[in-house]
Structure 1
Amino acid sequence: MKFSRLSVATVAALASLSLAACTSEAPAGRTPTEQGIGAPVDAPRITLVTQGGEERTQLRYSDVDAAEQQVTLDVSEGFEQRVEHAASVDPVPPENFVGSGEHITLPLTGSTDAASEASEGQQEATRAPEFRVGDLERTSLKSASGFRMGWRGDDQGRVSTVMFSAPPEATDQARASVEKALLSTMGVLPVFPEEEVGVGATWGVDVRVPGDANLLQSSTYVMRELNGNRAVLDVSIERRPSLGALNVTGVEGEAGEELKVASTQSWSKGTIVVDLSQALPVNADIKTTTRVVYAGSQPQQVVQDSSLAVKLN
């Protein structure tokens, strides 16, 4: 049996919600954008492993009404798929996988207001950060200059709602590319445990990847340094499909087949520098590669490699 190429589409469930019909007013000199609509984000599960050193404190964001933050977001994604004989498949992902995908750089400026009273169906929140995209030089993205991203969350860093709004003249391609890149920041925002922690503390955060209902993510944080509002965290990320099988359409008139996940492994390394008085990390460099192997009744297996690299500075 031969396999047709599997369709791997990131399900940007929030994309359709961000394209409202009306336009919001903008301060002088800023690009007006369409009225954004908030979409809920699945609550993370936080597990404290070790509390760390004896000098401990509760890590909490204090960015409401703090100074405006400027940061550059750099996102690279890659994907590759192939069919191999089962005997030759290595389940371990490569560390420096690149693949074909998009590389995008976004200048961001934003600040945090106190969260307004929750609407019906919304979770309670204390913070409402909002960032706007600066001028973009790339021709295919230029129309999305002024794109805005906002979210509601609590002082622990748990996000309950995310909102996007694009300039009315933004092309569909520019909207999709910028929104997808901005969503990647939601996946790397540190979430802190309830308990007091010190240097050496380790905790895990499990969540569905924002914007992609088909991916689950487990992040492990280790606090390397803590000095006032500044915390340096080592982070590793593991991603895995939420579905245990894929239905594959056959080619050349052959019947399709259900392929089950035979293995999934991630390689990851990263460092995040957090200033608790700022909504986004002041510095971050995170790389993750995931290999998923699908197998059916045939000796051939489908191998999918995907990569994500996120930088903030």
Structure 2
Amino acid sequence: MKLKLMPVLVALSLGVLSACGSHEPAPEAQQPVSLTVDAPKVTVLNAGEGAAEIVSFRDSGVTQQVAMEFSDSFEQGTGDVATLDPQPPAHPNVETLSAAVDATVSGESPRDVTLTMKDPKHSNIAYASDVYSTSGFQLSWTGQPTGRAEQVQLSAPANSTDQGRAVAELYLMKLLAQPIIFPEEPIAPGASWMVENRVAGDSTMLRNSTYRLVSRNGDLAELEVAVSERPAVSALNIGDQGGQGELKVMQSTSNGTGHFTIDLSKPLPTAGEFFLATRVVYGQDETQTRVFQDFGSGIKFS
């Protein structure tokens, strides 16, 4: 599995891709780590039909329990420009982390949400004990009633392992990478809007999510989403890795869809899922060798 995405390290003359993991020191146990979230851009594409209303969360003081399953995949390799499929694999080899999650919202302003992960289980037995040590791991954020997060904190239990904390962070941050944000403008059923955000971390990506309000009945809303992403940089300098020149992004293709049942009186979807698969192809103009990296990311609520 990918704990921290490796930089692309290529010796194109040999047709070989090599990589090494980045080993960042884990935060001190029980010492919250604060992160600032880049402000996403929200654009209404279609206001919908019928009576338009402001849609926002009204979950102050609420506690919610939900089962969640996070999925993640990463593969990389090389191929020939004439034969390499630009599309990501339809059925990537994913690993999953499942857990019960308690979500609480403070009764104060601004909106303050805290998620506590309980009894986490990982599909890869090699990480089972490390992941289980993170039971009690917390992800918190403050933000706006639209769903926009602004300030984030991560807090690990005292007895969690370094490996466990790294895994828990990787999976839980998928929630913030796929933000469910409503526009500030009034919308009606059938409305669609785009959320553009930067997914930082292993390999910074620019993600576009087009949401559609399928229906709304009071606090209950059904959403559909189509997701795509692309690298934030157009080329990588490989000189410091023993290569020559740049490795350019020759092509980037992604396919992502999802649906969510939202209760505006609760902080998390009560049901639904999404999955996004992306293939990024790197290369140089003077060679036919291509390097690909496949990413997969998903969340299921139940």
Normalising by structure 1, we get a TM-score of 0.84
Cα distance between partner residues in 2 of 1:248 and 1:191: 37
- Identify which of 257, 260, 279 aligns with 1:291: 279
Cα distance in structure 2, aligned partners of 1:201 and 1:60: 14
- Partner SS state of residue 198, structure 1: coil
Indicate which of 14, 17, 32 corresponds to 1:2: 14
Q: Distance in 1 between matches of 2:206 and 2:107?
A: 30
Residue 168 (structure 1) aligned to one of 158, 168, 187: 158
Matched, 1:133 2:117: yes
Structure 2 equivalent of residue 182 of structure 1: 172
Partner of residue 104, structure 1: 97
C-alpha deviation, 1:80, in angstroms:
1.6
- Please state if 1:304 is matched with 2:293: yes
Q: Which of 38, 42, 64 in structure 1 is aligned with 2:38?
A: 42
SS class of match (1:194):
coil
User: After TM superposition, what 4+ stretches of structure 1 lie above 3 angstroms from structure 2?
Assistant: 6-12, 210-213, 247-251, 254-257
- Establish whether residue 271 from structure 1 lines up as the match of residue 259 from structure 2: yes
Q: Which residue matches 1:27?
A: none
Letter in 1 for 2:296: S
Q: Matched residue of 1:146: which SS?
A: coil
Q: Give the aligned partner of residue 6 of structure 2.
A: none
CA separation of 1:281/1:11 partners in 2, compared to 1, >3 Å: closer, same or farther?
A: farther
Q: 1:159 aligns with which of 149, 158, 167?
A: 149
Gaps of 5+ in 2: 1-12, 122-127
Q: 1:264 to 1:136 in 2, by over 3 A?
A: closer
Instruction: Give the secondary structure class of the aligned counterpart of 1:175.
Output: helix
Q: Does the aligned pair in 2 maintain the 1:189–1:281 contact within 8 Å?
A: no
**AA matched with 1:287:** F
**Deviation of 1:212 (Å):** 4.6
Aligned to 1:64: 60
Equivalent of 1:79 in 74, 78, 83? 74
Counterpart amino acid of residue 114 in structure 2: E
- How many matched pairs? 283
SS across alignment from 1:106: strand
Bigger Cα displacement from structure 2, 207-216 vs 104-113: 207-216
Q: Which residue of 1 aligns with 2:248?
A: 260
d(CA) in 2 for partners of 1:293 and 1:36?
37
Please state how far the C-alpha of 1:227 moved relative to its aligned partner: 0.8
Structure 1 match to 2:4: none
Write the mapping of 1:12-31 to structure 2, written as runs, cut at 5 A.
Answer: 19-20=27-28
Tell me the distance in 2 between the aligned counterparts of 1:187 and 1:65: 25
The answer for the alignment partner of 1:24 in structure 2 is none
SS in 1 for 2:169: helix
Distance 1:44 1:115, change over 3 A: farther
What is the CA-CA distance between 1:157 and the residue it aligns to? 1.0
Verify the 8 A CA contact 1:151 1:163 in the aligned structure 2: yes
Partner of 2:191: 201
Amino acid at match of 1:307: G
Name the counterpart of 1:26.
none
Cα deviations by residue, 1:199-243 (Å, 9 ceiling, x for unpaired) = 110100001115456111111101111111111110111111111
Please tell me whether the aligned partners of residues 130 and 160 of structure 2 are also in contact (alpha carbons under 8 angstroms).
no
Q: Deviations over 1:51-107 (max 9, x none)?
A: 0011221111111112x100111111111222111111232333x2313x5311121
Distance, in Å, in 1 between the alignment partners of 2:229 and 2:76 is 17
**Secondary structure, in 3 states, of the residue corresponding to 2:165?**
helix
Q: Which amino acid aligns with 1:90?
A: D
Cα 1:144–1:46 shift into 2, 3 Å: same
- Measure how far apart 1:37 and its partner are: 3.3
RMSD: 2.3
Q: Provide the secondary structure at the position in 1 that maps to 2:119.
A: coil
**Which runs of structure 2 are paired with 1:229-248 in the superposition (5 Å)?**
229-248=219-238
In 1, Cα distance between the equivalents of 2:214 and 2:114?
28
Identify unmatched segments of 5+ residues in structure 1.
22-33, 117-125
3-state SS of paired residue (1:140) = helix
TM-score (norm 2): 0.86
